[in-house]
Amino acid sequence: MLQIRWHSRAGQGAVTGAKALADVMARTGKYVQAYSVYGAEKRGAPMTAYDKIDDKPILDHSKWMTPDYVLVIDPSLVFQEEIVDNTTDDTIFIVTSHMDKEDLLSVAKHLQGKKVYVVDAIKISQEEIGRAIPNTPMLGAFMKVSGIIPFEDFLVSIEDILSKFPKKIIEGNLRAIKRAYEEVK
């Protein structure tokens, strides 16, 4: 089973991102679970969202997991040590930051020795979508790093999932996804 944990602030779209990823993977015949953990707090509070992806139905309804991937879509949460909780040496971190990896690791010491990829999902979403909603660019970065499905297939599915939105929003999201796919490193 593939396990993914998102770190986000309420309102940044981690729940939507986790559900979209689950939807994409379900279209390839996988079984999925997407959920989130938050209290009654308002926008801006730190929260986590989760994806589980497997070849058989997912029965485990506990929130606990040892993530294969940790996706951090808020640049300030990169500095919270909670993002390494329950991870292993093999866990891959994809974090959003305007800093390059070397500068980031010199201050975010808990990430030293970890497998870390950096993408500036905030800047990308601001420039391409017009709002700081870093969830879809993070999915683009995740597709590049994980190679879980062919990128073209992902684009077809995500465009369909976004189809309820106006054309301008869909196009912005697709540009953001493609840019993050290219820029993550």
Q: Which residues bind another protein (CB under 8 A)?
A: 18-19, 22-23, 26, 31-37, 39-40, 57-64
Nearest to 48 by CA among 104, 3, 103, 114: 3
Nearest to 154 by CA among 54, 28, 55: 28
Shortest Å distance, C-beta 102 to another protein: 37
- Judged by CB, which is closer to another protein: 66, or 76? 66
Shortest Å distance, C-beta 30 to another protein: 8
- Judged by CB, which is closer to another protein: 119, or 158? 158
Q: How far are the Cα atoms of 91, 140, 163 from residue 168, in angstroms, in the given order?
A: 36, 18, 11
Shortest Å distance, C-beta 106 to another protein: 35
With 0-12 / 13-18 / 19 or more C-beta atoms within 10 angstroms meaning exposed / middle / buried, residue 11 is middle
Query: Do 18 and 51 contact (CB within 8 A), yes or no?
Result: yes
Shortest Å distance, C-beta 69 to another protein: 18
- Judged by CB, which is closer to another protein: 59, or 166? 59
